[in-house]
A and B are shown apart, each in its own frame.
Chain A
Amino acid sequence: MAVPRMLWGKYFQYERDGEAVLLDPVALDSVFIDSGEVHDLAGVPPTTTHEALAGLGFTPGGPEADRREALHDRLRLLGLDRTPRRISGLRVVLTDRCNMACTYCFVDTNSGKPDLTKEELSDGLEFLFEQNAGHEEVSIQWFGGEPTIRFDLMRYGDQLADDLSDRYDVGRVRRTVVTNGARLTGEALDHFVAYEYGVGISIDGPPGINSAHRLLLGGQPADDRIRRNVARFIEADGLHVGCNLTPTAANIGRLADTVRWIIDDLGLKFIYVNTPIPTAGRWQVNGADLARELYEARQAAFTRGGMLFSVLDRAFQALDTRRPMLFDHMQGDRTLNAALLPGNRVSLCDINFTEPSFLHTLDELRVDPGLLTGVAKKVAPMPECGNCPALAICGGPSRNEQALIGGSTPDPEMCAFYTSTVEIAVWDNTGVQ
Chain B
Amino acid sequence: MPQARREKKDHLIYADVVDSKSKAGVWMGERASFQEKQGRIIEALKERADWVELKDAIMVISADPAGITVIAPNPTLPGVIVLADGGSPATSAKLQAAAEETVRAVMGELGIAEEEAAA
| Residues of A in contact with B (beta carbons under 8 Å apart) | 17, 19, 21-22, 29-35, 37, 49, 52-53, 56, 58, 89, 91, 139, 141, 174, 176-178, 196, 198-200, 240-244, 269-270, 272, 274-275, 277, 295-296, 299, 302-303, 307, 309-311, 313-314, 317, 319-322, 325, 327-332, 336-337, 350-351, 424, 426-433
Contacts and interface: CB of A to CB of B under 8 A. Distances in A.
For the complex of A and B, list the 8 residue pairs with the smallest distance between their C-beta atoms, beginning with the closest. Answer: A240-B28, A176-B24, A242-B25, A428-B66, A337-B20, A200-B24, A320-B8, A32-B88
Given A139-B21, A199-B25, A274-B19, 13 more contacts: A29-B5, A31-B3, A32-B3, A33-B2, A141-B24, A196-B29, A272-B22, A274-B23, A303-B61, A313-B17, A320-B6, A328-B18, A329-B20
Interface of B: 1-9, 11-29, 31-32, 60-63, 65-68, 85-91
A151 B26 CA distance: 20
B56 to A, nearest CB: 15
18 contacts: A19-B91, A21-B88, A29-B5, A31-B3, A31-B4, A174-B26, A200-B23, A244-B24, A303-B60, A317-B15, A325-B17, A329-B20, A350-B20, A426-B87, A427-B88, A427-B91, A430-B66, A432-B61
B21 A89 contact: yes
A332 B26 contact: no
A327 B7 CA distance: 21
Q: Is the interface of A mostly helix, strand, loop or mixed?
A: mixed
A226 to B, nearest CB: 16
Contacts of A174: 26, 29
Contacts of A49: 2
B85 A430 contact: yes
A270 B67 contact: no
A324 B90 CA distance: 28
A52 B31 contact: no
A82 B105 CA distance: 54
Contacts of B29: 174, 196, 198, 240
Nearest to B90: A19
A429 B26 CA distance: 25
A331 B12 contact: no
A336 B91 CA distance: 40
A240 B31 contact: yes
Contact of B21 (A30, A274, A303, A337): A337
Contacts of B27: 270, 307, 309
A325 to B, nearest CB: 7
A311 B17 CA distance: 5
Nearest to B85: A430
Nearest to B10: A431
A274 B5 CA distance: 28
B19 A351 contact: yes
Given A17-B90, A432-B68, A328 B6 contact: no
Nearest to B60: A303
Contact of A32 (B23, B68, B89): B89
Nearest to A328: B18
Contact of B25 (A272, A428, A433): A272
A320 B7 contact: yes
A232 B13 CA distance: 26
A102 B106 CA distance: 47
A17 to B, nearest CB: 7
A307 B60 CA distance: 15
A31 B7 CA distance: 11
A52 B3 CA distance: 9
Nearest to B6: A429
A372 to B, nearest CB: 14
Nearest to A333: B16
A160 to B, nearest CB: 19
Contacts of A319: 5
A431 B8 contact: yes
A52 B24 contact: no
B88 A19 contact: yes
